Chains A and B, each alone.
Chain A
């Protein structure tokens, strides 16, 4: 958990803290939604995801349209107790000034969810383009939360304005 109170509702933060996978939905060039499963990271203010240049199509979409949603839906991939579901809508920024090392600032958050990342990183010479990565920084705008994961019920909606 972040040390200072986060910008998201605590229930949503609890899901983000344990989530191994989330569904990032972006808007493609034709205006249609397209969804990618990715590891969500959260520092209390922003959600972060990283994308290898090998899978860069989503980055092109994000640069053209920053509006995204991140859904936490999978009881297995989001092993929270009690289980719940959430969707965070927000504005994304692609950070790609230093594809080689820039994303490494997120390693502490990543390591907490996938400890094997350090072992992979030691072997980065074997798959070098996988470790050339852009950071997707998402500023949350709205959070929808379904207690118990019961989406047949109305979500608790939290509007988050002017987060910088």
Chain B
């Protein structure tokens, strides 16, 4: 990264030694290290004393490097940083003086390695173009990344919940439920892939230099691992499978399922497809809540019970809120890239304290709905086990508040937040199972 010379010289003062390099008369670079003094006010560095035989000729172009790492025995190292200064050599009294005219550097405490690497993606593509290759990864890993397979928990939880409510009513039908699960996963994969395609076309993912395993899209297009054509085929294939399974289930379990399927498909399309692109209008959270809450849960329930149920809708609300919060928190590190691409998500629109505050309130509402449902007689008492997941909400909240502006330090909180949805959702399912058994 380019640095102002005075700033670079100021930074240089924290290093233990300097490495002076120049091109010798044979055309080879020569490097020699020594102690130094630095004056940021004049952007000047004095290095030495050096032996006469290893002094650069006066007037020679120099690069002076300051480098630091901290070894971690048995592991590797951390605290990587360096500064490079350039200028012309002045030589006297066994010392080299350089007044910096240009400087670069990197400090992983300021620019985390992952972001530093992400900024190099255009260079990687240029290099591949020059050598005539392309990045490789096994077909399995490409599929794993492109579909964002671990996020299928967002589909598995509500469909499991729908099945659990049906079981509580003695209406569970395992075969149809499994088909519904497959159809739900197919819709979800289609949605993930479509989202990547639209974020690629809008430039949102390319503008995002702080992707994490939980945000910033799958990156398979940005890294050149998969072509747009392959992604379109995957997207259409997933939606096609979902539609086919939906038709089979509707024909066998009741055409009322078509309303659920149509709602799910419509939500997944309006989420990121133009001209709707609701996620860019700050409406991604309600769309996600509806799709991965009542719609999926009702689907899982309907294929078993062959009817609709307000109990199912109510039971799905905590899961709906928590999955919307997964999207919401994952948008926090993406907000710079999203803003650059005109994707005005809630973290783009709102200041940090409002984003964090709204998270806290939402989790309280999500968990509050469970005892309220029990008091109202909508949910069985066993579903109170869901509250066991509440400490995760606090942990996620504290992590988000502490690391709001640090994408990589935020990752544990993002992971906890995803775990919160999974844990609370599966505890809700467990509550229904316990209520069915006892």
Question: What is the interface of chain A, defined by CB distance below 8 A to chain B?
Answer: 20-21, 23, 25-27, 31-35, 37, 52-57, 59-60, 65, 67-71, 73-77, 79, 85, 87, 89-90, 96, 99-100, 113-117, 124-130, 132, 141-142, 144, 149, 151-155
Contacts of A75 in B (CB 8 A): 16
A/B interface sample: 6 pairs, CB < 8 A: A69-B30, A76-B69, A117-B76, A152-B49, A153-B51, A154-B51
A21-B77, A25-B31, A99-B131 known; A129+B124 contact, CB < 8 A: yes
- Selected contact of A71 from candidates B23, B33, B49, B114, CB within 8 Å: B33
In the complex, residue of chain A having the shortest beta-carbon distance to the beta carbon of B145: A125
Beyond known contacts A53-B135, A114-B76: 16 more, CB 8 A cutoff = A20-B69, A26-B29, A52-B124, A56-B124, A74-B68, A76-B16, A77-B67, A89-B28, A90-B28, A115-B75, A115-B76, A125-B141, A129-B121, A129-B124, A141-B28, A152-B34
User: Which of B77, B121, B127, B141 has the most CB atoms of chain A within a 10 A radius of its CB?
Assistant: B127
A85 to B19 Cα, complex, angstroms: 11
Q: Provide the residues of chain B in CB contact with A113, threshold 8 Å.
A: 76
In the bound complex, residues from chain B placing their C-beta under 8 Å from that of A76 are 16, 68-71
**B223 cross-chain contacts in A, Cβ below 8 A:** 128-129
Q: Which of A32, A77, A127 has the most CB of B within 10 A?
A: A32
A33's contact among B23, B82, B127, by CB below 8 Å, is which? B23
Contact residues in A for B131 (Cβ distance below 8 Å): 96, 99
With a cutoff of 8 Å between Cβ atoms, the chain B residues found around residue A85 in the complex are 32-33
Complex Cα–Cα for A21 and B66 (A): 12
B208 at the A interface (CB under 8 A): no
Q: With a CB–CB cut-off of 8 A, which chain A residues contact B124? A: 52-54, 56, 129, 132
Residues 116 to 160 of chain B near chain A (Cβ within 8 Å)? 117, 120-121, 123-124, 126-128, 130-131, 133, 135-137, 141, 144-145
Main secondary structure on chain B at its contact with chain A?
mixed
Q: In the assembled complex, how far is the CB of residue B205 from the closest CB belonging to chain A, in whole angstroms?
A: 15
Cβ-defined contact, B19 with A71, below 8 A: yes
Does B14 have its Cβ within 8 Å of any Cβ on chain A?
no
B53 lies within 8 A of chain A by Cβ: yes
Q: Which B residues lie within 8 Å of A25 (CB)?
A: 21, 29, 31, 63, 65
Contact of B29 among A21, A89, A126 (CB under 8 A): A89
Contact with A along B323-344 (1 / 0, CB 8 A): 0000000000000000000000
Distance between Cα atoms of A55 and B128 in the complex (Å):
12
* Number of interchain pairs (Cβ within 8 Å): 192
- Determine if B51 and A77 form an interchain contact, defined as CB atoms under 8 angstroms apart: no
Contact among B17, B84, B114 for A34, CB-based, below 8 A? B84
Q: Is B309 interfacial (CB 8 A cutoff)?
A: no
- B120 in complex: contacting residue of A31, A52, A67, A87, CB < 8 Å: A52
Contacts of A129 in B (CB 8 A): 117, 120-121, 124, 135, 223
Q: Is the CB of B68 within 8 A of A35?
A: no
Q: B51 — nearest CB in chain A belongs to which residue?
A: A154
Partner of A53, one of B52, B53, B123, B145: B123
Complex: how many Å from CA A32 to CA B56?
A: 13
Asked if B31 and A114 make an inter-chain contact with CB atoms under 8 angstroms apart, the answer reads no
B74: interface (CB < 8 Å): yes
For residue B15, which residue of chain A has the nearest CB? A74
Q: What 0/1 readout, one digit per residue, does chain B (22-66) give for beta carbons within 8 Å of chain A? A: 110011111111100000000000001111111000000111010
Point out the residues of chain B lying under 8 angstroms from A87, CB to CB. 30-32
**Set B28, B67, B70, B135: member contacting A128, Cβ < 8 A:** B135
Q: Which residue in B28, B49, B130 is a CB contact (below 8 Å) of A69?
A: B28
Q: Determine whether the beta carbon of B31 is less than 8 Å from that of A151.
A: no
- B72-104 interface code vs A (CB 8 A; 1 in, 0 out): 001111001010101000000010000000000
Q: Which residues of A contact B68 (CB under 8 A)?
A: 74, 76-77
Contact between B63 and A151 (Cβ–Cβ < 8 Å)? no
* Closest beta carbon of chain B to A80's beta carbon, Å: 12
Say how far B56's CB is from chain A's closest CB, in angstroms.
10
Nearest B residue to A110 via CB reads B76
Across the A-B interface, the 8 shortest Cβ-Cβ residue pairs: A54-B120, A73-B33, A71-B31, A25-B29, A114-B76, A56-B127, A53-B124, A69-B29
Q: Are B114 and A127 in contact (CB under 8 A)?
A: yes
Q: Which residue in B16, B130, B136 is a CB contact (below 8 Å) of A74? A: B16
Q: Which of B84, B121, B135 lies in contact with A35, CB distance below 8 A? A: B84
Q: Check if A23 sits within 8 Å of B94, measured CB to CB.
A: no
Q: Does B225 have its Cβ within 8 Å of any Cβ on chain A?
A: yes
| Alpha-carbon gap, A125 to B127, bound state (A) | 20
Q: Could you say which residues of chain A place their CB within 8 Å of the CB of B368?
A: none
Report if B213 contacts A (CB, 8 A): yes
A59–B145 CA distance with the chains assembled, in angstroms: 29
Cβ of B71 and Cβ of A77 under 8 Å apart? yes
Q: Which residue of A lies closest to B82 (CB)?
A: A37
Known: A35-B31, A129-B223. A23 touches B117 (CB 8 A): no
Q: Are B117 and A152 in contact (CB under 8 A)?
A: no
